[in-house]
Amino acid sequence: MLGIVKRGKILIATFALLLGSLALFSEPSFGVDSTTALGEHNAIPITVTTLSGSPICPSFSFSQIPRSPELFVGKLSPSSPQSLCDTGQHPTLALYRLNWTTHIMTLLHPLMQVPVNAANGPGIIQSAYDPYVAQVGKETWVAFECTGPHIAGAAACVAPLVGSDHIDVTRLSIPVVGMDSDPKSPWDYSASTPKLLNFKGHLYLYWSAIQGDKAPPRRWNSIETRGAEMEIGSDGIMWGKGRAGRPPQASHTPGYNVEVMAPIKGDPYRDISVDTEGLFVRDDQIIVLSSVGGAGPDSNALCTAPRNKSPGCFRLEITQTSIPLAEDAFNEQILVSPALPVNPAEYPRIVTDPNGQTFLMVNIHPVYATAAPMLGKAIAPYADPPTYQLIPLPLQSLHFEQMN
């Protein structure tokens, strides 16, 4: 337990580091901070194409395959003669190759076909997207967000990757579904952008639990990060620990799954969303990459998506922890240098090139609203709509401050 005192210290550190005041596309340096923000001058855009070099509907949630620095799993959104991104068709997962010299991400082939049945429950998976890859023993596993008939809300699916050829759908399961364990609750909680972590011999699944109204207009209210320990059963299928063969658990099940990162009540710039999107193990520490934001000083703005016009909405925050599963565990330490951009950021991940150099891979947006009245920097994205980019991030340059 980290408690109120720790949250107050996090609030002070976050205020001091991350934000400033500026309007959309204004001068990138503002306030009194002259420090170069991460990615201000050295961000490298990634271009995504087919094998023939044709444009493709962009994916913003690539996940690197461990031990294969050129290979990534990403979303594949079908195109049509009328549209590069045909929203009338269902996305699936595909294999991509990144050329680390040209920074072109090339679609190689789909990894699974939809619709497909899950191994547990009656759910039919129609859409598969937002993948996250982890090494589990000798196998590579993929967690991904999935939806379909008879599946409650946005759910978390998991399945092993067979080489770089296909996902083994005979071992595909749905460990978490998008609902509240309390049937009388007025809210649903999604199990969005699930992330697998293998840490010190234990396996964990984390997800972004988006709280939304059950009744129309079904507005999203907040985002927290939750997690649970997992295990692979004798049937070769991944389950929640102690839940082999049982129905999926609800995304919001206090007492079983844990709120590892929560919004900070009373902080107008972090009291709505803490959307963890990336995890990276360094020695005995877990580096946690999240998008955070709040309702603003007047408590009248929404921040559950990058384009929401709340001051400082969805800005990047990097924390570090040695505790994989405890209440607010992901707030154990906070990055104090290098300085981070105040721009809205999506799907931040740490990736490694063939030479072992580490990079921040992230989708950086323009600043859609004035930033919070604190120190910080905005960087100019390469495009609007934004595109994925690589930013050099030597791990030895990261400096964290203990928050307990």
pLDDT average, residue stretch 387-403: 92
Total domain count for the chain? Answer: 1
Tens of pLDDT, residues 273-316: 999 999 999 999 999 999 999 998 888 889 999 999 888 899 99
pLDDT score recorded for residue 258 = 97
Q: How far apart are CA 354 and CA 339, in angstroms?
A: 26
Burial class (CB in 10 A: 0-12, 13-18, 19+), 111: buried
Q: How far apart are CA 50 and CA 107, in angstroms?
A: 5
Q: How far apart are CA 328 and CA 276, in angstroms?
A: 12
What order of strands is seen across the sheet that includes strand 345-352? Answer: 44-45, 388-392, 358-364, 345-352
For 327-353, the DSSP string reads TTGGGSEEEEESPPB-SBEEEEEEEE-
Of 221, 364, 348, 188, the closest CA to residue 295 belongs to 221
Q: What share of the chain is helix, strand, coil (3-state, %, to 5)?
A: 5, 45, 50
Residue 66 has which token pair?
A: 């461990």
φ and ψ at 9, to 5 degrees? -65, -40
Confidence of residue 44 (pLDDT cuts 50, 70, 90): very high
Position 175, amino acid: P
Confidence of residue 237 (pLDDT cuts 50, 70, 90): very high
pTM exceeds 0.85, yes or no: yes
Sign of torsion over alpha carbons 217, 292, 9, 5: positive
pLDDT score recorded for residue 214 = 93
Q: How far apart are CA 62 and CA 348, in angstroms?
A: 10
Q: How far apart are CA 373 and CA 279, in angstroms?
A: 29
- Domain at 385, CATH number: 2.115.10.20
pLDDT surpassing 90 at residue 254: yes
Q: Which domain holds residue 387?
A: 3-402
Tens of pLDDT, residues 325-376: 999 999 999 999 999 988 999 999 999 999 999 999 999 998 887 766 655 7
